[in-house]
Structure 1
């Protein structure tokens, strides 16, 4: 059984092989079919990334509702929540580097959780995400986080089918895709129910077409949802 205390302490968990392997080829095809150039999005996107519009696809929606993912999200948010957004992102060769940053909660710490769904193998060569475990809840007296300081960052690595679930306040960043190897991901957002009204106000700007009225209840983190192969990052 997963250590719930450690999940909250680190602010993240890497769910190894959470996606059924037979889904991966379809998800990659859906990603590639949904790619749109920067100027076709309501808000222009970074030119060193591919961005895919795919939130209406049934298989994508199924991934967002996988029980291990919902269990981890519910544990981190701690109240009723909803699936707010999903889109595809992939760093191009020579692109993808980001400075360390936080995506930030909205009304209270922990009301926003993200998930990165890996459709290709990922690691230092193709720009896998860097994170700073435990950085989502700094001590009150701690100095402001230096986003230029990489000394505590960890670069995640693994195989297609893994899912990284993390608190939006966790310090993280994309990395340079030096090898040019493909690293397609789904970026998924989950919000506490209290954020629904503000969520509705920005649907168009975020190119959200899917229905977002479904609600999920936080559930206990049990072996059936988060198995021993899933590890909060060291």
Structure 2
């Protein structure tokens, strides 16, 4: 069941162990087999990260469609939505640090949701995500966010198979991989249906190869166990 009050208050949730354990070996193999150097992407990627173009792999697509994941994405977006992108990312030893930032919604607050599916155990030592709970909907009287202020940041920790989902306006960042341990993940993006044309227009630049025509409807409050995909 979704704790809707907590989800909208904090702007994120972590689904613990939602990826079946038996899928992880295949997902890690897919990540490693599809790593592409920065210069092979349409737009060069950060050199302190390993990037994997794995969006056509069946197990990857299955993770993106796990019912609990779709339920959370639908609850945050609040209208019909689609799976826009998935790619693999891993901070290299000594790399991966990001300044706190927002990815920013497009047409209205809440129209985009990101998910990070962790394929390895993660924590402060290997660059786990930092975030500021509740920072996605600042009050009108609040001053502009200082991206150098880390006092309210929380750093996540958990196990392979967890998935973090968050509103793209939530303040967050990747962290430095201090000990060099592997921290493979899949970054997944879900968008409100109204953003489809804009997402398709930039798909090639983002290295998106998969079919994004499938549509998902938010789960009604009384029914959270299943989401029915539709196509058009």
TM-score of the aligned structures, taking structure 1 as reference length: 0.94
- Does the CA contact (< 8 Å) of 1:2 and 1:222 recur in 2? no
Structure 2 portions without partners, runs of 5+: 227-232
Q: Tell me the alpha carbon deviations over residues 111-148 of structure 1, each in whole angstroms, 9 at most, x when there is no partner.
A: 00000000000000000000001000000111011110
What residue number does 1:36 align with? 36
CA distance in 2 between counterparts of 1:105 and 1:142 reads 19
- Does the CA contact (< 8 Å) of 2:54 and 2:87 recur in 1? yes
Structure 2 residue 198 is matched with structure 1 residue 198:
yes
CA distance in 1 between counterparts of 2:36 and 2:152 reads 35
* Runs of 4+ more than 4 Å apart: 221-226
TM-score of the aligned structures, taking structure 2 as reference length: 0.95
Structure 1 position 220, deviation (Å)? 3.4
- Does the CA contact (< 8 Å) of 2:119 and 2:185 recur in 1? yes
CA distance in 2 between counterparts of 1:94 and 1:222 reads 46
Shift in CA distance, 221/123, structure 1 to aligned 2, threshold 3 Å: farther
What residue number does 2:129 align with? 129
What residue number does 1:86 align with? 86
Structure 1 portions without partners, runs of 5+: 227-234
What are the equivalent positions in structure 2 for 1:209-228 lying under 5 Å apart? 209-220=209-220, 225=225
**SS, match of residue 94 in structure 1:** coil
CA distance in 2 between counterparts of 1:225 and 1:172 reads 29
CA distance in 2 between counterparts of 1:224 and 1:25 reads 28
**SS, match of residue 24 in structure 2:** helix
- Does the CA contact (< 8 Å) of 1:2 and 1:223 recur in 2? no
What residue number does 2:184 align with? 184
